[in-house]
Each structure stands twice: as structure tokens, then as C-alpha cells.
Structure 1
């Protein structure tokens, strides 16, 4: 093969990647436009909310598929957010290439944290940060009522269903007890209130950027991890990470997957210990959010990248045993996960879920995903469906496909109708890394699209979370 043939082949591959990226982004645009427009066309049950007065529709579906209210606004976080976003676009790639590897995860975390906090501050300190987790359906309203933790665990399942004198409030009832316990423990050590709770969610949630960079280096290579870093650091998902408990859940799950990736791809004597850490985090994750059981799909994707089945088993066995220890501890304390999951499904259908038709949300959910990850990452997803890379068990391809599968299963369960820009954060943060598969010369422009999209959503919609 001559030099010209080699160059021609590279050009053809780049052109194919560009086509896939633009097709995926085009589909994303159509999906988002349809998701925003259809609710206002009076198409019967193909609508985000039925049996609703105009006021209720405005409050719960006025900006569907995003949960919020139309409200063009700016705040003191506007200028920092624009500066951080612009800096990431202009210099993010070069900084990611040149930083010493040990510094890159830390810088990714710091950037993600500053970006998320700035976006939250667009809505102001109280509305955008300190007051978010003190709303009437949020965990902090329940914290003062937990005076006996062992008793709360023993009676937790009994209080899940609604219309009882001692029913848990909405978010507490909809999650396993680990979510509530996290905020109870924070309060017990003297860090009570919305600001400290928001800080926990911000720090843990934004640390997912570092976890993803670490995982991609283990699963793919350092170059790919460096290309992914700017996209995960200033992802639009930050709008919902800053002060939602789901940001905290996403961070915990991300580090569980990252540690599993390190254990699978390493053969050092520390690998079993790292795998145990992964199992503890992923085990804790399913007691934060029932939906995190679907993190098993990205976890399986990570195991498939092992060099052989022995390496996969060396990571799987200690991780599984550690996760089972977490399950056993909760069972001994009086909470059985499967009982809670069964009851929470009944509680789900006692609420607004009955008025949210699957005929809209089955595809409208994906419109919110596009908004949450940005069109640049959607373009990257178009490059994930590469048969040759999948046959070679490319780590980034497989873990993104695992996260996509988790999203699809969550959607088909009909237990995630609306608010998925927040609820699916543990899965969607991994999708943002797919942009590393785009041709390097185009990545800056796709990153700019993500940043502009995040700024527009945050400034035009007053998001509920």
C-alpha cells in the first residue's frame, strides 16, 4: 500500500466519522424540537401531562421535556459561567494535552465544580443553591424527623406508600434509605442545612468528571482520556449536578465504575482491593437510588474489556462480594432492597405518574437527554456504533454503549417519565465522554455547541432542580 493510499483511507475514515456525527446531531435537533413543540399542539395523549388545568400544565409541563418554567434571566453566576465555558472552548484541549497526567483529573474536577456552581448561581444563592434541597418534597424536610436511625431503617418500607399518617415525603419514599441517611449523617456531624447539603452534591457530583477521565485512561488510553476531559468538565449535565441529590448519586456510581475499570485493566497486587472499593461504592449506590441497579450494564461493559476471563473474574469476585456485604448490612438493619423496590413502584403510580402519558415521555425523555449532554456529545454517540471498534472491545465504545443501554432500559420501565435530565445523571454523564471519538479538529466546535447549549438552557429556563 502506498503513502497516498494510506492518506486516502484516513481521509475516508474521517469523512465517515463526520457524517455519523452530523447525522446523530441532526437526529438530536429534530428530537429536541419535537419534544418542545408537541406539548403545545393539542394531540390528545401525546402530551406531557393529561387531566391538568392550564395552571397545573404550566407548573409541571410548561417547558417539557425539561422540568422548569420559561424565564429569561441572568444572575451573578452568568459572567463566571461564560468565562469558564469560553476558556474551556479556547484552551481546554491544549491544557488537557499538556498537563501532567496526575494533575488532569484534579483540574477536570475543579473545572466541573466551578462550572456547575456558576450555572447554579445564575438563579441566585438561595434559589439556585442553598434552598434547592430544602423544598417541601426534598430530603432535608425529613431529616429532623429521624431521631432514631435503627428504627427508621426497620420501618422504612412500611412508610413508603402514600396516604398514610407517617408516609415519607416524595423524594425519601422514592429512594432507598441510603439517600436520606446521607443527609441525616451530614446533619449529625454539624453540617445541617441546604448550603452544606448542596455542597455535598456539588463536590461529589462534579468529581464524576475526574472519575470518567480516570476510567477512560484505564479502558482506552491516555490520549483518549485527555480528549474527553474538556467535554466532561463543562458538560451541560452540570446544570442538574450542582444541587440535586442525583448529582451525588452520579458521583458515587462514577467512582464505582472507575475503580472497577482500574481493577479490570490492572494486574497488580492492589487490584483486588480496588475491585472491593468498586463493589462497596456500587453496592452503596443501589441504596441511594433504585435505578442505579442499571449501573450493572456499564459495569458489565467494563468487565468485557478485560484481556481474558481470568482478569474479569479477579475484578468481579471481590467487587460482587463487597456489594453483597452492603446489601447484608442493610438487611440486618431491617431494610430489604426488593421490598422497597416493589413498594416504590406502587408509590410511583400513586402520584403524578398517572397523568404523564408514556405516548409522549417514551421519546420525550430522550429529548431531555439531548439537552443534558449537549449536541456535541450526541454527535459523539453517532461514532460509538463502530462495529470494528466494538469487535475489538474498545473500552470507551463499550462503556458508552453500556450507559446507553441503561438509559433505554430505564425508559422502557415506565418508571422514569419526566425529570430524566436529573434522574438519569448517573448514566448520562458517561455519554458526555463519547465526544472524544469525534475527529480532533472538530472537537473544539462541538465543545462550543455544548457550552452554548448549556448557557441557553440555564438562562432561558428556570429549572426546577
Structure 2
């Protein structure tokens, strides 16, 4: 398979990043390392497989065979099926494939270790759920409990996110779906649905042919390793549907623009109360607005979206939580913890290596086609969307508030980059898909990921 110049350049950068990020921690280069001021035990706990958060452990599980079969089927038949299937059926199949792929990868680690027990770890939301006996009081006092070293400080993940993340699991528990298995299923269902949202958005801002080309790549993205199961998979799904509805509001029928725009605003507004970093999804949202054929179409979508998002902000403010108070306190909490021992000199570029792992080298090769001045000038929908996602990642990286674990934390942005495969020559899609799934299977079977 011939590799063209842009693909070769992007692939080379991705490979160099991967090799360097995995090799540098073993070279003893002072602060150019994943963690400092640490004992060997702490290094193993937090940097054993840097830039990925996990531990070296070659293993197989009952999810291995299904994962291999799904990977082989998508590589062999995925592009053909995506090109021929009815559109609505393709959307459903993309979601179903993404769900089964993610679940199979989780089951490589086993039911308890890979799925049901993931969200019950000591730093996770479910450990806090039993302590919430008064929801209004929890929201009202949320900011006061963010900082560490207080008698009633929130546990790590609760303190690091706005209250909607915790509330989601509290409400799940209240309706009788408590425990790790239900929480994991919830995150898996919402997170895997991002695959369907992405191709719907691409169809709206570009065309159906492009969306069909992207479908196999998003269906078996390596990011599925962290979508099942982490709360960030849930966050990614919410943000993806927010962008998809915004795209439908901009490019759909005028009479549907207001409800679609309002739906987009509600989801994106809810998203920023799930994860402070989701505020950066504003860049892909702006990219969608830039694809509008005229100013009226953009405003028809933007106005109801902004009003709905502000309604979410107002509701939380009325309940006693102001987003900016939480954001400033979270920054303090961040530097109270392990962030002080994770040198920016390493993570500023190693974060990007973990992104390579999450989207796959095949999609990395496709990113070489994103930097196309002519396509951007003519406001190509897919190029603008991918550029928005890339800029979100760059800003998150430079903020110094994302050092390590970005294969999980950046899921709301990286899921979009998996669709870059649509820009590759169609005749080469099977090869690039194969490279992506082989990478995902290798990571999942050689590393026991923390998420």
C-alpha cells in the first residue's frame, strides 16, 4: 500500500511520539520523566506504563475472541457495508458495533476488573454516592468541599468535576440502578453512542458519503478502551450529541432549527457541569457554525442553543453552585495532589502520545490531510470539525491542567479525531483500519489500563 506524503509525515510524527513517550521514562533524564519525588512503589502505581495510565500485564480474557472477531469483521466488510447500508441502519449499526467493541475490550480484563468494579474504586463517584442524603444541600455546599485536606472533602473524581457528574450517579442509584455494573452500563451506552452522533454530525456539515467513509473508523476506535467504562465516556457521549444536534440545527430544515439548537444547548450546557474541560468543546461548536451556508442559518441554531445553555447555568446557580467558583477551586485542588510531581516537560508532549494511542495510527496518518488550506478556505465541514477538536486538545495541553490520563480525560475531543480516517484514500481504508484495531488490541492485552 503506497503511503502519500502527508500521511507519511503524520504517521512518522505519531510513531516518534509513541516511541519517545514509552522510552524516555527509562532513560533517567531528570525532570524529563513522568513522575518525580517518588518511591519505586509510587512510580509503579502512577507511571508504570506512561504515557498510558496502567500496569504492564500481558493477559487475555473472554472478551478477547469477540474483540478479534469484531475487529476482523469491520476491517474486512466495514467499508463495503458502510457504503451500501440504508442510512438509518448504518447509524444504528455504527452505535451497536462501537458498543460491542468497547464491551469486548473491557471483558478482556474480566467482568469485575474490567467492567463492574471500575467505577467502584476508592477515588470514583460511586464511593461518594451513599454519602449524599440531601441533594439540594450537596449542590449548595459543593464548592466548599472541593479543596483537599478538609474533614468533608470530596473524593478525588468528585472534587475534580462540577456537580452534574456526581448527580448523574446519585440519580441512577435513586431509580434503583445502583452499583458498578449499572453505572458501567450507563457510561458504556452513552459513551458508545458518540460514534452515531459523530457520523450524524459529519453528514450534516459535510455530506453522507463522507459520513459513510468515517463510520468504520469511529465504530472500532481504540478510544473504546477508555469509553468502557469511565465517566469520561459518558461525558464524551453527551458532548458529541450536543455537537450533532447543533450541526442538525445549522443544516437541517428551518422549522427544526429551534428545537435542535435548544437540544444542543441543553446537552452542551449540561456537559460543562459534567467536566470543566468540556468548555473547550466551544471550538468544535464554532467550527459547526462556520459551516453554515449563511448567517441566518447560523443564528437560527445559535440563539436557542445559547438560551438553553444559559438556562442550565442559571439552574445550577439558583441551586447554589457557580461554575467559575468551582473551576478556580479545582485548580487549587489539582495542585494539591499528584500534579506537582508530574513534570510538564514530559507530559506536554507525552499527552499527545496518549492521544495517538486513543485514536490509532491509522487516524493519525489521516490528520495529515486536515492541514489543507484550500479545504479550510472553502469551509469543508469535516476539516473544520477536526481542526476544532485539535485546537481543543492543544489548549487543554497547554493549560497544564491535563498532565497524564489524557487518553481518558480528552475523550470528548479525541472521539472526533477518529473520524479523520474518512480523509484517507478509500482503497487504503482496510489497511488503516487494521492498524487501528491491532494497536487497540495490543494496548488492551499488554497493559492493564486503570480506566
Would you call these one fold, judging by a TM-score over 0.5? yes
- Residue 267 of structure 1 deviates from its aligned partner by 3.5
Counterpart pick for 2:106 among 105, 109, 120: 120
Aligned to 1:409: 395
Post-superposition Cα deviations, 1:388-419, rounded to whole Å, max 9, x if no partner, equal 11001000000000000000000000000000
Cα distance between partner residues in 1 of 2:111 and 2:23: 32
Once residues 447 and 324 of structure 2 are traced to their aligned partners in structure 1, the CA distance between those partners, rounded to angstroms, is 37
CA distance, structure 2, for counterparts of residue 350 and residue 326 of structure 1: 30
Distance across 2 between alignment mates of 1:242 and 1:457: 14
State how many pairs are aligned: 451
> What is aligned with 1:24?
10
- TM-fit CA distance, 1:442: 0.7
The 8 Å contact of residues 18 and 439 in structure 1, kept in 2 or not, is answered as: no
Q: CA deviation at 1:237?
A: 0.1
* 1:230 has 2:216 as partner: yes
Structure 1 residue 270: Cα displacement: 1.2
| Alignment map for 1:372-391 (pairs within 5 Å) | 372-391=358-377
The runs of 5 or more residues in structure 1 that have no matched partner are 1-13
Q: Determine which of 71, 96, 105 is the counterpart of 1:85.
A: 71
- Measured against aligned partners, the alpha-carbon deviations of 1:4-39 in whole angstroms (never above 9, x if no partner) come to xxxxxxxxxx98x82111210111001000000001
Q: Report the counterpart of residue 208 of structure 1 in structure 2.
A: 194
Match of 1:395 in 2: 381
Map 1:34-49 to 2 at 5 A. Answer: 34-49=20-35
**Is 1:300 the counterpart of 2:290 in the alignment?**
no
Q: Following TM superposition, by how much is the alpha carbon of 1:45 offset from its aligned partner in structure 2, in angstroms?
A: 0.3
Deviation digits for residues 143-168 of structure 1, max 9, x if unmatched?
Answer: 00000000000000000000000000
- Find the partner of 2:225 among 236, 239, 252: 239
Matched, 1:108 2:94: yes
Q: Tell me if the contact between 1:18 and 1:438 (Cα under 8 Å) persists in the aligned partners.
A: no
SS in 2 for 1:64: coil
1:426 lines up with 2:396 in the alignment: no
Task: Work out the CA distance in 2 between the residues paired with 1:235 and 1:346.
Answer: 34
- CA deviations on 1:298-337 (whole Å, 9 max, x unpaired) are 0000000000111111111110010000000000000000
Query: Residues 102-150 of structure 1: CA distance to partner in whole angstroms, max 9, x if unpaired?
Result: 1111100000000000000000000000000000000000000000000
Q: How far is 1:253 from its partner?
A: 0.1
Distance 2:346 2:48 in 1: 14
TM-score, with length taken from structure 1? 0.96
Query: For 1:270, what is the secondary structure of its paired residue?
Result: helix
CA RMSD of the aligned region, Å? 0.9
Partner of 1:4: none
What does 1:172-187 correspond to in 2, within 5 Å?
Answer: 172-187=158-173
C-alpha distance in 2, partners of 1:351/1:224? 44
Distance (whole Å) between structure 2 residues aligned to residue 204 and residue 27 of structure 1: 32
Give the structure-2-normalised TM-score.
0.99
